[in-house]
């Protein structure tokens, strides 16, 4: 929801950063890899008991993830870049989930439910994107939903920073992702029928 409706407020900063990185001869795919490497540290920082660092690198990664897309649109998008971007986004999320599961085994069941919800939602999202002829600003059809990447980062941040509420927040996160999956499935029925 925020990725779709609030991006216009941060878009000028994203585009300025994209132009700056292009000026320094970086490619969109290089920034995708950088975002992946930085974001993957988040799970490690959770595991070693550095929650503030975990949240900081998670958000830097998310910002660079937005920047790489702008860089691609300012130059030339590539299908391989799209594959890298979507795949690395999931690995960053997996790193956070694994870090949380190792550091807080008492919430492993809730994290398992969250993982299943993400798998289901992403399966619908990617399948609709693959079979839909609609194209948007991205290189594939992007279905908006209640729980997009920014909402995920907000909830991961709260889970990391509020240990006493971890279980509840993880279940809430899983519920929002499932709601989004249902929302996307219903939209798919409309646009693909």
* Residues designated catalytic: 89
Place of tokens 């989930």: 97
Contact between 106 and 167 under an 8 Å Cβ cutoff? The reply is yes
Q: How far is CA 90 from CA 13, 14, 137, in A?
A: 24, 21, 21
40-70: string of b/e by CB count within 10 Å (b at 16+)? bbbbbbbbeebbebbbbbbbbbbbbbbbbbb
Whole-angstrom distance, CA of residue 106 vs CA of residue 104: 5
């Amino acid at each position: 929801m925020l990725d779709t409706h609030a991006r216009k407020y941060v878009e000028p900063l994203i585009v300025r950063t994209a132009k700056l990185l292009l000026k320094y001869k970086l490619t969109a795919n290089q920034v995708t890899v950088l975002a992946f490497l930085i974001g993957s540290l988040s799970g490690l920082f959770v595991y070693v008991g550095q929650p503030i660092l975990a949240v900081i690198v998670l958000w830097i990664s998310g910002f660079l993830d937005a920047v790489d897309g702008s860089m691609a649109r300012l130059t030339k998008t590539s299908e391989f870049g799209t594959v890298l971007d979507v795949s690395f986004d999931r690995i960053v999320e997996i790193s956070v989930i694994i870090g949380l599961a190792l550091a807080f085994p008492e919430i492993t069941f809730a994290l398992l439910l969250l993982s299943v919800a993400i798998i289901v939602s992403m399966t619908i999202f990617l399948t609709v994107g693959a079979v839909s002829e609609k194209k948007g600003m991205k290189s594939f059809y992007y279905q908006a939903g209640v729980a997009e990447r920014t909402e995920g980062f907000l909830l991961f941040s709260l889970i990391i920073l509020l240990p006493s509420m971890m279980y509840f927040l993880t279940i809430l996160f899983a519920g929002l992702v499932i709601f989004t999956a249902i929302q996307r499935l219903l939209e798919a029925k409309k646009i693909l029928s």
